Structure 1
Amino acid sequence: MRVLITGSRAPVAILLARSLHAAGAVVYTADSLRPNFGQNSRTVTEDFCVPSPRFASHDCLATLARLARDKQLDAIIPTCEETFALAAGRTALPPSVRLLCPDIAILDQLHHKGRGIAFAASLGIATPETCAQPDVTRDGILKRAYSRFSSHVIPLRGTQEQRQKAADKKPTDDGGDGEWVWQEWILGKALCTYSLCHNGQVLAHAAYRTPYTVGLGAGIFYDAVHGPMYDASLAAAQKLAAETHYTGSLSLDFIEEATGRLVLIEINPRATMGLALLSHQPAFAVCWKTLLGGDKAPEKVVPGTGRRQLKAAMLLLGRKRSWRDVFTTPDVLSDPNDPGPARAALCIYLSYAWQAKKKKLSTLAFSTHDIEWNG
């Protein structure tokens, strides 16, 4: 089996490369950003530089199509937001290569902060009240319809005048889509999930807390959760996957209320770092072989386990972390058989910070600037 993983700037792509390599696949990676982790991994046969999926999507797809033919690829596996551009241009790829993600109509519906939540609510999943029009007459939050890392989130609090003042601060000239939704504010603890799905069936599922983040939502520490919250989040993922016949990575964000009710607040139809709680398990490689056509589906859903961290990012957080967590939690990138990504991590992140400064962007915004999908 010969596969190409896109989005090799992301640690999640390397974790996936290691799982597929262990399963016997020949693994290639590709990205429009340099440097990246794919360039440093022994499990990757070769990493390719491709044009930006956002700003040069036609050229990006043409390059991937050429690679598919030249390397005789069986499958292309997108991991980050290039997923949307590849799904939208699926017909540009050779029919002989499988693109392991849903159609763009499904992806776009789930990715949209308003339509995705409305769809989940129609399936009986607990969701906050969400409106397509910004509402300053009551407390809540404004969210850009297409956003990531909980960026472009504006709390609305206080008097109507104060709420209006906050709403008026919405950015309008930063290259975003300009569409916003209002959402009820839900009090409680955040819970994230990652699921691997095949034809509407969840094969593997991780539910986890993210006690350390960059900004409001980019998790860099992952602590697996089991019990009732795991079961409730798995049930929601199974409903969404079954209704859409989903194949690929599906990630969800919830709030656990004090009453124990789990409320879905956001859908990310792509890979997230919850995969780190699964990738060290041999059973997860079997799940991917199922997607690639090599094995039968596991009899039971493979659960995420343990704790993992992005150590380089944790060290860059300054005082906002516990040294005990830093020194006692396994680093997702550390692997004695594949030491390159962990060794390169700090230099890669510092390079992104430098490139972001040149473009007058935050490092977080820069990390997805050339792959974002905004409808």
Structure 2
Amino acid sequence: MRLLLTGARGLPALIAARQLHRAGHDVLVCDTFPTHATRHSREIERSFQVPAPRFEEEAFIQRLLALIEEHRIDVLMPTGEEILYVARHRERLRARCEVVADTFEQLAALHDKWAFNQRVAARGLPAPRTWRLEGPGHLEALLREHARLIVKPAFSRFGQKTRLMEAGAPLSGLDCSRTLLAQQFIEGTELCSSSIVWEGALLAHVCYRPRYRFPSGPGYYYEPLGHPGVREWLLRFLEGTRFTGSLGFDFIQTAGGELYALECNPRMTSGFLLFPEDGRLGRALLGQAIAEPDLETPAMVGFPMLAGALPRIRSWKELREWWRAFGAARDALWRREDLKPFWYQLAAFPHLLQLSRRHGLAMGEATTHYTEWNG
């Protein structure tokens, strides 16, 4: 089959492209950025630039339709947050090829942190107490009752604009132009999961700990865990659904072992790195196989491990731990048979920097500026 992947600059897209290629398929990719690491992979056939769906939604869909027609695409597979825009036009796209995306309504409800929290609670699963903020006064009143609260937008990603608020702290800097949530602060260990679901059936699943991460942002060191509790949680959450697609969840596990789901990412996430590169994950992405993760070997992105984690080390103990972790993991981009993505992993950086400066965005915000969905 011939597949077109969107969101190609993201690491999950490179993982998916490699897995699908090894499953025997022809892979083409597209992205709003002119260049990125995946563009240089020998395991893709072509790479294209497309309009930004957040600002040129119809032009984005028209470009996808043209690519599908011109390159005889059998399956369109979104990998990032642009899946919301694809899903909103799913029927138009499905007239030309198969689209691996659930309905817009389903995806939007999972992406919305308020709606997701209410859905978790309705299923009888532990959910942090959450409030939709009506303004700074509402937050002040809540902080008089709760010593610490997490404040974040209802629509966000990678921990962007998430703040820990304490009673008595100044409330300046809150973006009140967006729907904000206040959430119960829960002490515990952060866990993540990545899964592939096909018509409600779980075809691939892994739980992991983001051991090293950007400050208040995404991780870049993924430590796999055999965690039956997370798997059981997911099966209960999916019970009775016919969902198809990729799902990532963030959890906090308390010292007593209770799992609280914080948010859902209804798209591909970096846990896919933890699967053997034998093509089974590629077949699972198409609903054709079950894939099992490698629970013995951590995965990492080596560059931020060196440039991000190493400078923050403050003791010999931390240095020894970092060195052991670095030596135990395999690099997400390094492949002897496909070297260029490793050497071009910063290819998107000049465009990212330009975007950040032009719009006054933090670098993390610039990465999703063209594709994010904010309700």
Q: Normalized against structure 2, the TM-score is what? A: 0.89
C-alpha separation in 2, matches of 1:151 and 1:62: 30
Question: What's the counterpart of residue 35 of structure 2?
Answer: 35
Farther off after superposition, 40-49 or 321-330: 321-330
Farther off after superposition, 305-314 or 45-54: 305-314
Tell me the secondary structure at the aligned position of residue 44 of structure 1. Answer: coil
Structure 1 residue 53: Cα displacement: 1.2
Tell me the secondary structure at the aligned position of residue 116 of structure 1. Answer: helix
Structure 1 residue 316: Cα displacement: 2.6
C-alpha separation in 1, matches of 2:353 and 2:255: 38
Count, aligned residues: 356
Contact 1:87-1:103 within 8 A present in 2 as well: yes
Q: 2:293 aligns with which of 272, 285, 303?
A: 303
**Cα separation, partners in 2 of 1:349 and 1:326, compared to 1, 3 Å:** farther
Q: List per-residue Cα deviations over 1:336-355 (Å, max 9, x = no partner).
A: 11111011013434652354
Runs of 4+ in 1 over 6 A off after TM superposition: none
**Cα separation, partners in 2 of 1:94 and 1:282, compared to 1, 3 Å:** closer
**Cα separation, partners in 2 of 1:313 and 1:34, compared to 1, 3 Å:** farther
Question: What's the counterpart of residue 57 of structure 2?
Answer: 57
Tell me the secondary structure at the aligned position of residue 181 of structure 1. Answer: strand
Pairing 1:260–2:257 present:
yes
Unaligned runs of 5+ in 1: none
Which amino acid is the alignment partner of residue 157 of structure 1?
E
Q: List per-residue Cα deviations over 1:11-54 (Å, max 9, x = no partner).
A: 11011001000111110000001221231011110001000011
Question: What's the counterpart of residue 319 of structure 1?
Answer: 311
Tell me the secondary structure at the aligned position of residue 211 of structure 1. Answer: strand
Q: List per-residue Cα deviations over 1:269-309 (Å, max 9, x = no partner).
A: 111101101252443233234x2xxx4x43xx623522001
Question: What's the counterpart of residue 231 of structure 1?
Answer: 228
**Cα separation, partners in 2 of 1:358 and 1:279, compared to 1, 3 Å:** farther
Contact 1:113-1:143 within 8 A present in 2 as well: no
Farther off after superposition, 208-217 or 363-372: 208-217
Farther off after superposition, 179-188 or 240-249: 240-249
Tell me the secondary structure at the aligned position of residue 370 of structure 2. Answer: coil
Structure 1 residue 155: Cα displacement: 1.7
Question: What's the counterpart of residue 136 of structure 2?
Answer: none
C-alpha separation in 1, matches of 2:108 and 2:11: 24
Contact 2:23-2:280 within 8 A present in 1 as well: no
Contact 2:276-2:293 within 8 A present in 1 as well: no
Question: What's the counterpart of residue 272 of structure 1?
Answer: 269
Contact 2:33-2:348 within 8 A present in 1 as well: no
Tell me the secondary structure at the aligned position of residue 194 of structure 2. Answer: strand
**Cα separation, partners in 2 of 1:347 and 1:313, compared to 1, 3 Å:** farther
Contact 1:205-1:304 within 8 A present in 2 as well: no
Structure 1 residue 324: Cα displacement: 4.1
Contact 2:28-2:44 within 8 A present in 1 as well: yes
Question: What's the counterpart of residue 155 of structure 1?
Answer: 164
What pairs with 1:154-303 in structure 2 (closer than 5 Å)? 154-158=163-167, 162-163=168-169, 165-166=170-171, 168-172=172-176, 178-226=178-226, 230-278=227-275, 280-289=277-286, 291=287, 295=288, 297-298=289-290, 302-303=292-293
Structure 1 residue 328: Cα displacement: 4.1
Contact 1:126-1:263 within 8 A present in 2 as well: yes
Tell me the secondary structure at the aligned position of residue 126 of structure 1. Answer: coil
Identity of aligned residues (%): 28
C-alpha separation in 2, matches of 1:82 and 1:195: 18
Structure 1 residue 94: Cα displacement: 4.5
C-alpha separation in 2, matches of 1:324 and 1:356: 35
Tell me the secondary structure at the aligned position of residue 220 of structure 1. Answer: strand
**Cα separation, partners in 2 of 1:87 and 1:64, compared to 1, 3 Å:** same
Contact 1:149-1:215 within 8 A present in 2 as well: no
Contact 2:246-2:268 within 8 A present in 1 as well: yes
Pairing 1:143–2:152 present:
yes
Tell me the secondary structure at the aligned position of residue 212 of structure 1. Answer: strand
Which amino acid is the alignment partner of residue 223 of structure 1?
E
C-alpha separation in 1, matches of 2:233 and 2:65: 35
Structure 1 residue 181: Cα displacement: 1.2
C-alpha separation in 2, matches of 1:359 and 1:282: 40
Structure 1 residue 154: Cα displacement: 2.2
Farther off after superposition, 278-287 or 179-188: 278-287
Contact 2:22-2:278 within 8 A present in 1 as well: no
Structure 1 residue 187: Cα displacement: 0.3
What pairs with 1:99-110 in structure 2 (closer than 5 Å)? 99-110=99-110
Contact 1:62-1:92 within 8 A present in 2 as well: no
Contact 2:8-2:38 within 8 A present in 1 as well: yes
C-alpha separation in 2, matches of 1:181 and 1:225: 30
**Cα separation, partners in 2 of 1:106 and 1:263, compared to 1, 3 Å:** same
